[in-house]
Structure 1
Amino acid sequence: MGKKFFSFEILLLLAVFTIATCGLVYELVAGTLASYLLGDSVKQFSFIIGVYLFSMGIGSYFSKFIKRNLLNTFVEIELLVGLIGGLSSAVLFVLFESVDYFQFVLYLLVFTTGCLVGLEIPLLMNILKDRVRFRDLVSNVFTFDYIGALLASILFPLVLVPQLGIIRTSLFFGLINISIALVLCFALKNELRRVTFLKTRAILCFAILVAVFIFSDDILSYSEGKLYGENIIYTHSTPYQRIVLTHNKSDYRLYLNNNLQFSSADEYRYHEALVHPVMAAAKRVENVLVMGGGDGLAVREILKYPEVKTITLVDLDEGMTNLFKTNTILTGFNKNALNNPKVTVINSDAYVWAKQQRKQYDVVVIDFPDPSNYSLGKLYSLSFYRALQHILSPDALVVIQTTSPYFAPKSFWCINQTLAQVLPKTDAYHVYVPSFGEWGYTIAANNITADFNKPLRHAAENLRFYDYNFKSLNGFTKDMRASQVEVNRLDNQILVRYFDEEWGKL
């Protein structure tokens, strides 16, 4: 009898481990998907976590009203968690462009999953309370619960999303939930009521998830086709972002996490304006640093100067840089720049890398994504610019893409003023890029005697847009100016709030 109870206990503790792992994965899937589709990852993850934990509390509260058939109820809840949690990402992808109440559906699914998971742990403790000493019961249940949560949090970014993608990750863990229910049905058949009915439901749920798993690529293609409204020719998920390449007539467009990165029809305006004013005004351009810009398009422009000896590209996402090294369509855009012998690609966090680096650079081109969340906002902070300053040569010049001065003037001038706290001379300019509208840049020098208006060199190859007349890009109308903006410090991240406030109105 003792051996039977030992096996019973181990089986249910294994279920606790599975519940914790699967439950956290569903939470992470919802947060990742919300960030991908709605933007602002910090806010989305914060709301998702808050709603999930709250709903778990609600589920735990209502568990006290379940007094009969506890084991049957537990298995039924396990089936519901597997089915709802497993299908959640596929449902959300399909509904995003189809309904106006997408966020309601998102939080309803999170709330429902959280309530069901919250029901399970108290139910298990009630099932085991007469079989296991209370002290051992509590410690064992919570030990397995926390170990499962740790495993999910490690596997999700490192293995699950890169290898399975968001939809298949939730389906895979839904299948695990259903599998646990099936194991319980067979292993505890003498403890369960209406066990044949439970087995039939479990097999049906398992079959549904398997069918959706098989067609998950078709579901994703359908939803992304509706989302972008263009012919999708390439998709790839990295640990950091979802990469989508579309083609419409003669225009190729690259999207990162649903945000347009560039259009092949007009990216030359953006990248020529980013690179050539700073390269033309720099006293030396032998050693150039590019931060961000994993597409290699800024590097392509820098390579037009024969004086350049080395280019160091620091970009976090190895999946992104490898794509632009190997994809024949994309290497056509960047002229195979990332495979040039002058170029060294380093896949690292730019903030950490800059603090550890000792080599000095003549020109620094910073092409980070917009500061839409705090992880990106730190790359526009006073702390980051101070770390950057110690790797600048005495006459070095820096240029930074600084979002739109028309749509987000507070954000634009916040970046400008933050950099001005570190480097002695700064200026700002903007260009019109049809895919984005008015787009802005901040240029700065480590030496106050630098003259941005006086080009010291010209590109060897023809440029399609920039004519080396910096003054023509240097004027700002009243609706592109902002007063009384704060400096973006690491501990306040005011820039992210400006950005969210300004772009959120559009």
Structure 2
Amino acid sequence: MIDQSVVAPPDSAARLPVRPSAGRFLILVVVFVCAACGLVYELELVALASYLIGDSVTQASVVLSLMVFAMGLGSLLAKRLRCRAAVGFGLVEAALALLGGLSALVLYATFAWMGESRYALIGFSLSIGVLIGAEIPLLMTLIQRVSRQDAGGTVADLFAADYVGALVGGLAFPFLLLPWFGQLTGALLTGAVNVVAGGALVLWVFGRDLTGRERGLLLLVNVLVLAVLATAAVLVDDFERAARRAVYGDGVRVAVQTDVQEVVLTGGAEGPLDLYLDGRLRVSERDEYRYHEALVHPAMRGRHARVLILGGGDGLAAREVLRYPDVRSVTLVELDPGVARLARTDPALAALNEHVYGDPRFRVEYADAFTWLRGRGTAGAGAYDVVISDLPNPGITPSTKLYSEEFYVLASRVLAEGGRLAVHAGPPAVRPRTYWTVEATLRAAGFGTSPYTAKGRAAGFGTGPDRSHDGKNAGGAEGAGEGVRTDWGFVLAAAGRTPAVGLAPDAPRLRSLAPPVLEAGILRAERTRLRDLPPSTLVHPRYAG
């Protein structure tokens, strides 16, 4: 994209194989294509960084600020190439196509085999930004050589082509490249389009201005870049399988990219089942029951005929709810139909959730939880005795609205008189500010709150919505290394009163939860208390990624 106006000095007219008006049009077409490709590279870096590193706001800020800064450097550096603008532009586009096309592969490789992709992200953001910044000064020089239009008109034409190209690239990325080709192949395809457009313009339109050595060099470089991108595209499936093995181990049984996220299942037939969503460990069969028992059963103390579960498409929270014979209906609101389909059809996961999707009392609705609650309006008032919020960690940026004051006000409207809301709020021991901000936000929404924690057993993995594959929670602290116990933080809430944390008289036999365990969990939570924290709202989110 254009970062500044550049006016080219007069130069001798180019010897063109086409009329000047046609040459000008071809240059503007290439500006359009390059702008589209450049924006795809930016969006691809932001999307992959958000997936691999987390916190999309931070990653977008880092990528975009570095790229805009680097574009300014590229514009300055391009001054040295303006005397040989045609060959300079051809080499810049070849380098940009190679770096942009391979950026997704390299970022994923560093994450899979080195466990860290931040430095690669910074390097690609700077290098791609420098090359994008060098495009416009060189194109300005070339278009001035083709047509003697005034500088103001030339700049206006370049801006128009650049911004329209950016629009097309920005729309193509989420609606065409990602769903049809995926991030890796989509980046490679974009690089191929980029190198063909740049190479064709220079070799055809400005070929007569090049020396024989320059033509040979550009042709060789463009062919090599295309060959590298094509080879990578052919091998991309093998690369993905190898990278998944490096990240998840050898036991990957299912790996699918839904419309919402990447879903990976490992183990199950010959070992403990693990469910990963976008690289984060969502469920580990080793101790998931500890998490789900602590989330569900304290909320079931009291009337619990009608239960609403927000999130939890794996069916494990519903499994615990349906252990009560007097539960008449369970409604689950899940954003991703792919997760629910897997929970219903995968033999190992369906066995783990005890086939809840086949229970006549259970029904699922596919929607964003915030939008679904908002759409209930007054018609859904008092519809549920218990609401269970089994959602990703509030530190994950897309989830912040699901931990806002507005969200909890909406949840309070669907609760019946005397109803309870149970919320997973992240690990209080390692992220106390996040945990107690959730509690403060619930109080701001009119709830009385009872915070408590639950401990997982010592294991190689943690579980719950905020756990990563290496046993660390989303906050980055050790959560489940050998000899270290995971901790999960919950808040039990009720409108206008403080609910008691305990178990219902008719509670089923539980594997990990008992009154003394809950009492200890209340004390552990209280020891981490932070007071006077402001609530999180839609316009002022308070959760750090």
- TM superposition score normalised by structure 1: 0.89
Q: Find the residue that maps to 1:251 and give its secondary structure.
A: coil
Is 224-233 or 214-223 further displaced after alignment? Answer: 224-233
Q: Find the residue that maps to 1:67 and give its secondary structure.
A: helix
CA distance in structure 1 between the aligned counterparts of 2:76 and 2:332, rounded to whole angstroms: 53
The corresponding residue for 2:46 is: 31
Taking a change above 3 Å as real, the CA distance of residues 480 and 175 of structure 1, as seen in their structure-2 partners, is farther
Counterpart AA for 1:493: P
Q: Find the residue that maps to 1:476 and give its secondary structure.
A: helix
Taking a change above 3 Å as real, the CA distance of residues 146 and 379 of structure 1, as seen in their structure-2 partners, is same
Taking a change above 3 Å as real, the CA distance of residues 305 and 143 of structure 1, as seen in their structure-2 partners, is farther
Pairwise CA RMSD of aligned residues? 2.7
Identity, in percent, stands at 31
Q: Find the residue that maps to 2:35 and give its secondary structure.
A: helix
Q: Find the residue that maps to 2:430 and give its secondary structure.
A: coil
Structure 2 residue 296 is the aligned partner of structure 1 residue 275 = yes
The 8 Å contact of residues 449 and 498 in structure 2, kept in 1 or not, is answered as no
Unaligned runs of 5+ in 2: 1-15, 463-485
Q: Find the residue that maps to 1:369 and give its secondary structure.
A: coil
Summarize deviations over 1:322-377 as a string: whole Å, max 9, x none: 33333333323223334544434333322233222231322111011111244322
CA distance in structure 1 between the aligned counterparts of 2:246 and 2:511, rounded to whole angstroms: 34
The 8 Å contact of residues 489 and 525 in structure 2, kept in 1 or not, is answered as no
The corresponding residue for 1:142 is: 159
The corresponding residue for 1:43 is: 58
CA apart distance, 1:37: 2.2
The corresponding residue for 2:405 is: 382
CA distance in structure 2 between the aligned counterparts of 1:15 and 1:320, rounded to whole angstroms: 42
The corresponding residue for 1:190 is: 208
Taking a change above 3 Å as real, the CA distance of residues 149 and 330 of structure 1, as seen in their structure-2 partners, is farther
* Partner residue of 2:125 out of 95, 110, 117: 110
Summarize deviations over 1:198-230 as a string: whole Å, max 9, x none: 223212211110111111122222233223345
The corresponding residue for 2:327 is: 308
* Partner residue of 1:158 out of 154, 175, 179: 175
CA distance in structure 2 between the aligned counterparts of 1:163 and 1:340, rounded to whole angstroms: 35
Structure 2 residue 489 is the aligned partner of structure 1 residue 440 = yes
Is 168-177 or 253-262 further displaced after alignment? Answer: 253-262
Taking a change above 3 Å as real, the CA distance of residues 78 and 415 of structure 1, as seen in their structure-2 partners, is same
Taking a change above 3 Å as real, the CA distance of residues 454 and 477 of structure 1, as seen in their structure-2 partners, is closer
The corresponding residue for 2:286 is: 265
CA apart distance, 1:124: 0.9
Counterpart AA for 1:475: I
Counterpart AA for 2:294: A
CA distance in structure 2 between the aligned counterparts of 1:343 and 1:349, rounded to whole angstroms: 18
Is 425-434 or 42-51 further displaced after alignment? Answer: 425-434
CA apart distance, 1:72: 1.9
The 8 Å contact of residues 423 and 444 in structure 1, kept in 2 or not, is answered as no
Structure 2 residue 264 is the aligned partner of structure 1 residue 244 = yes
Taking a change above 3 Å as real, the CA distance of residues 322 and 143 of structure 1, as seen in their structure-2 partners, is farther
CA apart distance, 1:44: 1.4
Unaligned runs of 5+ in 1: 501-506
The corresponding residue for 1:211 is: 231
The corresponding residue for 1:405 is: 428
Summarize deviations over 1:285-343 as a string: whole Å, max 9, x none: 22x21112122221222222333333322232333333333333332322333454443
Q: Find the residue that maps to 2:83 and give its secondary structure.
A: coil
The corresponding residue for 1:393 is: 416
The 8 Å contact of residues 437 and 536 in structure 2, kept in 1 or not, is answered as no
Taking a change above 3 Å as real, the CA distance of residues 446 and 468 of structure 1, as seen in their structure-2 partners, is same
The corresponding residue for 1:457 is: 506
Taking a change above 3 Å as real, the CA distance of residues 39 and 450 of structure 1, as seen in their structure-2 partners, is closer
Q: Find the residue that maps to 1:487 and give its secondary structure.
A: coil
* Partner residue of 2:191 out of 159, 162, 174: 174
The corresponding residue for 1:224 is: 244
The 8 Å contact of residues 314 and 350 in structure 1, kept in 2 or not, is answered as yes
Structure 2 residue 300 is the aligned partner of structure 1 residue 253 = no
The corresponding residue for 2:317 is: 298
The corresponding residue for 1:503 is: none
The corresponding residue for 2:528 is: 481
- TM superposition score normalised by structure 2: 0.83
Taking a change above 3 Å as real, the CA distance of residues 449 and 54 of structure 1, as seen in their structure-2 partners, is closer
The 8 Å contact of residues 455 and 468 in structure 1, kept in 2 or not, is answered as no
CA distance in structure 1 between the aligned counterparts of 2:428 and 2:319, rounded to whole angstroms: 26
Taking a change above 3 Å as real, the CA distance of residues 344 and 6 of structure 1, as seen in their structure-2 partners, is farther
**Aligned residue pair count:** 493
The 8 Å contact of residues 298 and 503 in structure 2, kept in 1 or not, is answered as no
Taking a change above 3 Å as real, the CA distance of residues 357 and 8 of structure 1, as seen in their structure-2 partners, is same
Taking a change above 3 Å as real, the CA distance of residues 488 and 162 of structure 1, as seen in their structure-2 partners, is farther
The 8 Å contact of residues 93 and 199 in structure 2, kept in 1 or not, is answered as no
CA distance in structure 1 between the aligned counterparts of 2:500 and 2:522, rounded to whole angstroms: 16
CA apart distance, 1:55: 0.8
Taking a change above 3 Å as real, the CA distance of residues 91 and 424 of structure 1, as seen in their structure-2 partners, is closer
CA distance in structure 2 between the aligned counterparts of 1:36 and 1:357, rounded to whole angstroms: 31
* Partner residue of 2:452 out of 413, 424, 429: 429
Summarize deviations over 1:61-96 as a string: whole Å, max 9, x none: 222332222122112111111111101111122223
Q: Find the residue that maps to 1:220 and give its secondary structure.
A: helix
CA distance in structure 2 between the aligned counterparts of 1:422 and 1:100, rounded to whole angstroms: 40
Q: Find the residue that maps to 2:454 and give its secondary structure.
A: strand
CA distance in structure 1 between the aligned counterparts of 2:23 and 2:49, rounded to whole angstroms: 39
Taking a change above 3 Å as real, the CA distance of residues 448 and 415 of structure 1, as seen in their structure-2 partners, is same
Summarize deviations over 1:452-494 as a string: whole Å, max 9, x none: 43625334xx543335777445432488422325133224322
Is 168-177 or 252-261 further displaced after alignment? Answer: 252-261
CA distance in structure 2 between the aligned counterparts of 1:478 and 1:325, rounded to whole angstroms: 35
